[in-house]
Chain A
């Protein structure tokens, strides 16, 4: 994981949202979402499709206004006032097809207050830096979907924003470009830029994020550091014994599951020492013992529920197809 989990609590907040509610034709898409994103953090909003991730991001950015609740972004409740310090890559990418690549980047910068001439210069530099120099003068309609996506990504960053919001940034990218994007996000955070992104792929959030908000059914059952999310469920113990039975078995917790000579169970609240003592005294013959901290996926299942986890897996499969 990236970053230092104990630092965020003292950092000023880039985003603060309280009780955001959004209804569409009677359907509540977002239902009382609270979020706090510290400055300089990489923050993930994790949830299956339809959970309310995009709607939440749109409300934070001022694209739509919430029906209820309050949002503050970089110190103001009017997102457009700080638009020049924000970069946004929407889930549904879009550029004007007739624009040349560097002009598209300059236009996105101009929308955020960057002078057009400077945007054009930076656009050319960025395209060169990212190996797309050959596409500088090509029209967007002449680029592949992946290349156009990269152009839009560069346009999102051309004005050097303090806060970057990515909505499902990894969708549509191949593994190579996903890796590049992850490195870019880490690079931004290292320079002090706050990065917030939504994803339905837990692995990305687990690798990148300081903090996450788990969202399901429009609600956020958990928002905070990734470590805290993982600590929501007890570490898993994997035990291998020579003996198959004996009085020591009474010391194993109730949720124990057996597979051959292996035993799987949650770490007891009393810790591992009393259990170890019982196993040794009962001559269980310990061949191996490991304690594994829960992954974010397990934490997600525990927090958001099985149904949300299944939806998340289905989204991932869908994306792969």
Chain B
């Protein structure tokens, strides 16, 4: 047999990687994971179909509308131009409603018209086709500017080769409106995080049953520290979960974007969309590791799949409690309930993601991430110790009773 390279001592992280690699490959290429992936995809397809029908119904009622308030002749020209372009471009063209045909010399205040919110008006086009002005919320008018220029050019009879400049008049969203919108984003973020946790964290419960059933656990326990076994299993399942989220996310995102949706139609979180998504992934990972380490410890006490199933009910209740606590906390910004929800490691990821939607401060996320990492390490250590003492029935020691600084270096072997 070849003698090089030789086996070398593994650190806990290296040992965890060996374990994680085995579990990741075994789960990823199993038939059960394939079906597990398919489940939510079916659900997304059904939701997309239902959403498509709903969208058709909503299109005439809830679709954000572009109002026009110009002199009568200009209004008619804009309406005609819109209908010509809508026939060519389709639903991407905003729905047009005539707010008012102005009499010569008549004054019109588009701002108060939008704020009166009589119709589903998202922006109002005023001025003339040669010198149009678009008034509305900044993100909306920015999105529509190009299309409005196209309509104005058509209405002015200039054709698409000569676009008039569209003056933009942004409406600053009030602080109250903004925080209400961000609250909605926070709640949606929390709910999505919770749903993913519910679907994915439960997998960890049954993760040690195979090893115990196959008696492999003794081989593992003899070769690597139990902490490494726990850590490896946890990270393998996290990686599997991220694969699942990526597949579902790509599939769902494609359907969502394909249906003509855009993030611009939703209230932006305080930290911005890219950071919000980044933090979402990070908090999912941390939440998964924190809750997963508890689940792994609980599941490791079970000897059969049936026992695991029995355990899953109280575990689901525990998850729900965390979610409710975090949901309650986002409505209490700055008071002790929010602080408690951030400090409690199980509700912290949910609360912090909601905070990212409401508050643009980033340092708190750094602190929260460090705090949650400490808890992951602690819980993995506790779970492994519990497993060793309760399942393997290990004792208190077997080492020299001297502290490490009192020991002499080992005798040469």
Binding site for B on A (CB under 8 A): 12, 14, 20, 22-24, 39, 58-59, 61-72, 74-86, 88, 90, 92-99, 107-116, 118, 121-122, 125-126, 129, 159-162
Contacts of A93 in B (CB 8 A): 215
27 contacts between A and B (CB under 8 A): A20-B398, A23-B395, A58-B222, A62-B222, A63-B394, A64-B392, A66-B397, A67-B396, A70-B399, A71-B398, A72-B410, A74-B413, A81-B9, A83-B222, A84-B8, A90-B215, A94-B216, A94-B218, A95-B214, A95-B216, A96-B22, A98-B26, A108-B223, A110-B18, A125-B2, A160-B1, A160-B6
B352 contacts the other chain (Cβ, under 8 Å)? no
Given contacts A65-B395, A65-B397, A159-B7, 17 further A-B contacts (CB under 8 A): A59-B398, A64-B388, A66-B395, A66-B398, A70-B400, A71-B398, A72-B411, A84-B7, A88-B219, A94-B216, A96-B214, A111-B15, A111-B220, A116-B21, A121-B2, A160-B6, A161-B7
- For chain B, the count of residues having a C-beta within 8 Å of the partner chain is 45
**Nearest 10 pairs of A and B residues by beta carbon:** A94-B215, A159-B7, A67-B395, A111-B223, A64-B394, A75-B410, A66-B398, A113-B7, A92-B215, A114-B7
Rounded to whole angstroms, the CA-CA distance of A257 and B217 in the bound complex is 53
Rounded to whole angstroms, the CA-CA distance of A109 and B6 in the bound complex is 10
What's the minimum C-beta distance from A112 to chain B, rounded to whole angstroms? 5
Rounded to whole angstroms, the CA-CA distance of A76 and B219 in the bound complex is 20
| Contact yes or no, B395 A118, CB < 8 A | no
Rounded to whole angstroms, the CA-CA distance of A87 and B204 in the bound complex is 29
What's the minimum C-beta distance from A39 to chain B, rounded to whole angstroms? 7
- Looking at chain A's contact residues, the main secondary structure is mixed
Contacts of B210 in A (CB 8 A): 96
B274 contacts the other chain (Cβ, under 8 Å)? no
Bitwise, B393-407 to A at CB < 8 A (1) or not (0) is 111111111000000
What's the minimum C-beta distance from A172 to chain B, rounded to whole angstroms? 13
| Contact yes or no, B392 A77, CB < 8 A | no
What's the minimum C-beta distance from A14 to chain B, rounded to whole angstroms? 8
Bitwise, B176-213 to A at CB < 8 A (1) or not (0) is 00000000000000000000000000000000001100
Closest chain A residue, CB of each to CB of B215:
A94
| Contact yes or no, A122 B215, CB < 8 A | no
Rounded to whole angstroms, the CA-CA distance of A92 and B214 in the bound complex is 9
Take A84-B10, A111-B219, A159-B7 as given contacts and tell me if A78 and B399 are in contact as well, using a CB distance cutoff of 8 Å: yes
| Contact yes or no, A63 B413, CB < 8 A | no
What's the minimum C-beta distance from A41 to chain B, rounded to whole angstroms? 14
Take A63-B221, A95-B216 as given contacts and tell me if A75 and B412 are in contact as well, using a CB distance cutoff of 8 Å: yes
Rounded to whole angstroms, the CA-CA distance of A265 and B373 in the bound complex is 74
| Contact yes or no, A88 B222, CB < 8 A | yes
What's the minimum C-beta distance from A318 to chain B, rounded to whole angstroms? 20
B224 contacts the other chain (Cβ, under 8 Å)? yes
| Contact yes or no, A160 B398, CB < 8 A | no
B3 contacts the other chain (Cβ, under 8 Å)? yes
Contacts of B91 in A (CB 8 A): none
Contacts of A86 in B (CB 8 A): 222
B314 contacts the other chain (Cβ, under 8 Å)? no
| Contact yes or no, A75 B411, CB < 8 A | yes
Rounded to whole angstroms, the CA-CA distance of A107 and B6 in the bound complex is 15
| Contact yes or no, B396 A96, CB < 8 A | no
Within 8 A of A (CB), among B2-20: 2-3, 5-10, 14-15, 18
B225 contacts the other chain (Cβ, under 8 Å)? yes
What's the minimum C-beta distance from A118 to chain B, rounded to whole angstroms? 6
| Contact yes or no, B218 A63, CB < 8 A | yes
Contacts of B216 in A (CB 8 A): 94-96
Closest chain B residue, CB of each to CB of A63:
B221
Contacts of B7 in A (CB 8 A): 84-85, 109, 112-114, 159-161
| Contact yes or no, A12 B388, CB < 8 A | no
Contacts of A77 in B (CB 8 A): 398-400
Complex partner residue of B218 from A85, A90, A125, CB under 8 angstroms: A90
Rounded to whole angstroms, the CA-CA distance of A14 and B413 in the bound complex is 7
| Contact yes or no, A107 B398, CB < 8 A | no
Closest chain A residue, CB of each to CB of B392:
A64
| Contact yes or no, B222 A61, CB < 8 A | yes
Rounded to whole angstroms, the CA-CA distance of A151 and B18 in the bound complex is 19
What's the minimum C-beta distance from B33 to chain A, rounded to whole angstroms? 12
What's the minimum C-beta distance from A12 to chain B, rounded to whole angstroms? 7
